Amino acid sequence: MTKKWILLIIVMWLMGVQLFAAEKTVRTLTPQEAVADLDSMVALIEQVHPNPYAHLKKKTLNKAVKASRQRLQLQSVSATELYLELARIAALFGEGHLLITPKSIFSSNMRPFRIASCVSVDVRNGRMTLDCDTVIDGVALRKGDEIVKIGGKNTRKIVKELLHYISGEKNFFKYEHLPHESSTRAWLNLRLKEGGLNELDVKTSQGVKHIRVLPKKKVATQSTTAQSQKSWSWEMLNDTVMLLHFDQCDWDGFKEFAADMFAHLRTQKIPYFIIDNRENGGGISYASDEICRYIAHEPFTWLNKVVMRSSEPQRSFYRNYHKEESDSALLEMLDECLSMPDTIISYVETDYVEPYPDSLRYEGKVYLLNSHTTFSSASSLAGEFKHYRMGITVGEETGGMNISSGEIIAVTLPHSGFSLWIPTKIFYMVGYDENSPVHGILPDVAVPQKDALAKALQLIGKQ
């Protein structure tokens, strides 16, 4: 991908943030308005996406849309109810970058899932457990305790139902994100008991504890690990191993940070370098490439091929930004997009990133830790790291796929004001083509993500 297209991705992400702020607050919609937003969503996806039915049969979508339309036509619906209908339809497409964002509906009377930040879902069996010690309304709970019921409902059944509302290519990706999704919050607020109380049944070593969670009290949590305020930082685990916490592909300041970090690696002659990419949900791919520039032995790219679709909604999206832009390079890129007719084109990647000269490069052994949470630009890092054999990958299959859609535009639906995020491109990572099976980047050494660091250190210890 040329650098101008990467810059354009940044532009679109910023535009999406601005559109969130413009969402209008709607509490109740008429049946006609609700159905109109449903139809608008489907029409926009078909108009903008290069291949909307790559993972979904159109017959299946039509059946689901018909059923949703029938439910919406019965009576007026709340914004929350409409959001869940639209989220279910969006999730059918099986893409992590195609989704509905309902920020405006979360008013003060919509209570979140109170302990979402301390919950994980087992991808094998749907068990919902605590991943840190916490206190809920005076009841002390421990890491590993299982939430077996919420509002009197079996938690595993709730998890199974919630998967239908979450966008993503693989179920393991949905499981990882389920506790924190807007759809989880919306579903719980609609389905659980009215009256201001949440009820949890938690299986502990002392038996099952029934907890009535009062809505206005704060949840006190004690995390087992220190939380950094930055999206990246490094630390020395011992005299021979540096660990980079790479929690987001945030480009602002990263070039300088990386220069200092790799200078320390070289001058101190540290033989082992571990990149912790497990919690990284993506961001700006420049940050991923910057790491690779210090460890790659040859020019590299994370892309093989791109399929792009130009459409009027895409051009309209760019026009909004074009009015405010003054940078000549960006204006040239936007002008090129705005001049394109409705079309689908494909091109092979020819713009490779050059590694830094040998005087700046790191020559030690590198390990990259990935998980089911690793997504978007973080998966791109995993893809190029593995393809060019920059080191050893440890952990789980990434949540971002080797063939996936991206470079989204955000369109506001007419009546609800929800933002619909639609990909305009399909990316084939380096080493893959149309005949490749779709999957995440597979680890060289497969272990559960929680054991990845320990496993990397074990591998280092054997050398």
CB atoms within 10 A of CB 346: 13
Whether the pLDDT of residue 188 is over 70: the answer is yes
Give CATH superfamily name and number for 232-301+349-400+440-461: 2-enoyl-CoA Hydratase; Chain A, domain 1 (3.90.226.10)
For residues 263-269, give the mean pLDDT: 96
Residue ranges covered by each domain of the chain: 3-105, 116-214, 232-301+349-400+440-461
For range 213-224, the mean pLDDT: 46
Q: Give the model's confidence band at 98: pLDDT under 50 very low, under 70 low, under 90 confident, else very high.
A: very high
For residue 313, pLDDT over 50 is answered with yes
Compute the distance between CA of residue 426 and CA of residue 442 in angstroms, rounded to an integer.
Answer: 20
List Cβ<8 Å contacts ≥24 apart for 153-157: 153/191, 153/192, 155/126, 155/127, 155/128, 156/125, 156/126, 156/127, 156/128
Using the predicted structure, report yes or no on whether residue 39 has a pLDDT greater than 60: yes
Q: Which of 16-25, 43-52, 389-398 is the least confident region?
A: 16-25
List the one residue out of 147, 143, 145, 182 whose CA is nearest residue 165: 182
Q: How many CB atoms lie within 10 A of CB 233?
A: 14
pLDDT at 132: 85
CATH no. of 116-214: 2.30.42
Q: Do domains 116-214 and 232-301+349-400+440-461 have the same CATH topology?
A: no
Q: Is the pLDDT of residue 25 over 70?
A: no
Sequence-ordered list of residues with C-beta below 8 angstroms from that of 405, at least 6 positions apart, any chain? 49, 50, 51, 54, 95, 97, 98, 423, 425, 426, 427
Confidence class of residue 405 from pLDDT cuts 50, 70 and 90? very high
Instruction: Say if residues 189 and 135 touch (Cβ distance below 8 Å).
Output: no
Average pLDDT, the chain: 85
Residue pointed to by tokens 């660990």: 243
Which DSSP string corresponds to 23-89? PPP-SEE-HHHHHHHHHHHHHHHHHH-S-TTSSS-HHHHHHHHHHHHHHHTSS-EEHHHHHHHHHHH
* pLDDT score, position 220: 40
Point out the least confidently predicted range of 136-140, 189-193, 369-373.
Answer: 189-193
Q: In what order do the strands lie in the sheet with 272-276?
A: 232-236, 241-246, 272-276, 365-370, 392-395, 445-446
Structure tokens at 325: 């832009």
Position 215 confidence tier, pLDDT thresholds 50, 70, 90: low
pTM of the predicted model, to two decimals?
A: 0.83
